[in-house]
């Protein structure tokens, strides 16, 4: 059985144990995240009008930018395992507090808004810390490109379980005469279990100690920007991330507008869960069996084209045939491509960054840039919606979808520039490599 796992997932001697532990962390986090996200979105839309979700997204990602500044000061200064363990413990406490707020009768719109904000913070914070830790454990790019898709596939299994629970929750909880917020108790329990697993499963991991120096807050926060600005391949990738993020949030907003109106009589949570479940099952198959092979065939620099090209094609379909089916398909394909090839390509590229600055560079790209693109997309979608409603235009969605399409065209152009500058960027002094030749077994203390 063990030999079969090694062959199927392309693992080598000594890697299976670490893959299982890291995979479980993604599994458990994904279960809790999907449950909270579905409950938050469906609960929020039941309390307020759909366009107001843009305001929550803007507040959400602005808050993320501000709080990420604090995290960027911590991630490269403290032991990675300790950082992720205490972050997990914090999630458990927050879920307990939210559960008490529902019990105490705090207004539903406020509770669901806070849960919405929490789920999005988890969605970005946990991967940031987790993949920096994983890059430190598997610090060779060839090894990372082979193993990371396998580890990421565990996250998809957790998503399947979490979305299955969320889809079945409305009917199941109704029979038990229990409110949906009882799911928060389950999430708190999950994170307490994860906290203990980290303490046991990663207790013998020795991550290479990075050089520590005294820096001001400004110097620390500017490290990621300086790196991305001075390495041409990363600079062009930065521009593509902004455009793609803006397009993604516009596609998701259009999906929520269309489906919330279509399921006004009920059934939105079940449909929303099942649509995400379909994406997750597809992503699991692609990520565990195809992503690493696709990246080997196309190379990392060419793998970045898959997401914007597929999104542009789907938006063109929505513009040509604006229906619930096309809006749902556009969101599903966007999520599928982003969660598989695009994420793995980005993490593989970030493994080139030396450990001393990898955490801050990762935060800058995956948090600051992505959040900035999300906020830009929300402002565009909100502006077009307000103008369209004020002018009595019923099909104003053509406006923000057309802008999203243009963003993707620009993203594709910048990726061509990134590909042209890729080889020369590998000689940049900021990509000076740490010592090679260490294996995963060298990181364990027996």
Is the per-residue pLDDT at 337 higher than 80? yes
Residue 267 makes CB contacts below 8 A (sequence gap 6+) with: none
d(Cα 82, Cα 235) in Å, to the nearest integer? 31
Two tokens, residue 134: 């994983």
Instruction: Classify domain 16-206+224-429 at the CATH topology level.
Output: Growth Hormone; Chain: A; (1.20.1250)
pLDDT tens, residue by residue, 137-164: 776 666 676 777 778 778 878 888 988 8
Which residues are CB-neighbours of 318 under 8 A, at least 6 positions away?
254, 326, 327, 330, 401
- Report, as an integer, the average pLDDT of 310-326: 95
Helix 397-425 and helix 306-320: axis angle, to 10°? 160
Q: What residue ranges do the domains of the chain occupy?
A: 16-206+224-429
Q: Which residue has the higher pLDDT, 145 or 133?
A: 133
Predicted local confidence at residue 338, as pLDDT: 92
Q: Is the pLDDT of residue 61 over 80?
A: yes
Has residue 251 got a pLDDT over 90? yes
Q: What is the pLDDT of residue 81?
A: 80
Structure confidence at residue 168 (pLDDT): 84
Q: Tell me the β-bridge partners of 152.
A: none
Mean pLDDT across the chain: 81
pLDDT at 443 over 50: no
Of residues 225 and 26, the one with the higher pLDDT is 26
CB 275 within 8 A of CB 132: no
39 closest CA partner among 93, 111, 127: 111
CA pair distance 272, 379, nearest whole angstrom: 24
Tell whether the model's pLDDT for residue 389 goes beyond 60. Answer: yes
Could you give the percent of the chain with pLDDT greater than 90? Answer: 28
Q: Which two tokens stand for residue 45?
A: 């839309």
Compute φ and ψ for 414, nearest 5 degrees: -65, -30
Tokens linked to 132: 């920096």
């Amino acid at each position: 059985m063990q030999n079969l796992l090694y062959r199927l997932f392309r693992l080598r001697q000594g890697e299976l144990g670490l893959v299982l532990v890291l995979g479980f962390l993604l599994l458990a986090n994904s279960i809790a995240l999907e449950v909270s996200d579905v409950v938050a979105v469906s609960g929020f839309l039941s309390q307020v009008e759909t366009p107001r979700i843009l305001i929550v997204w803007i507040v959400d990602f602005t808050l993320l930018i501000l709080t990420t500044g604090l995290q960027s000061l911590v991630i490269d200064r403290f032991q990675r395992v300790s950082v992720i363990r205490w972050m997990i413990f914090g999630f458990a406490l927050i879920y307990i507090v939210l559960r008490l707020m529902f019990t105490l009768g705090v207004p539903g719109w406020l509770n669901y808004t806070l849960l919405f904000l929490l789920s999005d913070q988890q969605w970005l914070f946990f991967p940031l810390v987790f993949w920096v830790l994983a890059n430190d454990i598997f610090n060779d790019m060839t090894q990372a490109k082979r193993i990371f898709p396998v580890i990421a596939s565990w996250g998809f299994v957790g998503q399947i379980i979490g979305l299955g629970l969320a889809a079945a929750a409305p009917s199941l909880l109704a029979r038990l005469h229990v409110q949906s917020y009882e799911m928060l108790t389950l999430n708190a329990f999950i994170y307490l279990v994860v906290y203990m697993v980290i303490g046991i499963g990663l207790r013998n991991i020795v991550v290479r100690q990075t050089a520590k120096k005294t820096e001001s807050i400004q110097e620390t926060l500017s490290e990621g920007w300086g790196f991305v600005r001075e390495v041409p391949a990363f600079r062009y990738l930065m521009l593509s991330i902004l455009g793609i993020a803006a397009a993604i949030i516009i596609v998701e907003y259009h999906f929520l507008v269309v489906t919330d109106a279509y399921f006004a009589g009920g059934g939105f949570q079940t449909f929303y869960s099942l649509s995400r479940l379909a994406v997750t099952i597809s992503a699991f198959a692609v990520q565990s069996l195809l992503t690493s092979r696709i990246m080997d065939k196309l190379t990392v620099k060419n793998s970045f084209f898959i997401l914007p090209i597929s999104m542009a094609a789907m938006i063109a379909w929505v513009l040509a045939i604006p229906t619930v089916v096309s809006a749902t398909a556009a969101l599903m394909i966007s999520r599928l491509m982003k969660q598989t090839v695009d994420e793995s390509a980005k993490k593989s590229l970030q493994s080139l960054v030396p450990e001393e600055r990898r955490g801050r560079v990762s935060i800058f790209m995956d948090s600051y840039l992505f959040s900035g693109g999300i906020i830009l997309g929300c402002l565009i979608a909100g502006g077009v919606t307000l103008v369209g409603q004020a002018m009595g235009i019923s099909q104003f969605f053509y406006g923000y979808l057309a802008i999203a399409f243009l963003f993707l065209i620009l993203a594709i152009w910048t990726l061509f520039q990134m590909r042209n500058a890729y080889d020369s960027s590998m000689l940049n002094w900021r990509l000076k490599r740490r010592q090679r030749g260490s294996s995963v077994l060298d990181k364990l203390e027996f």
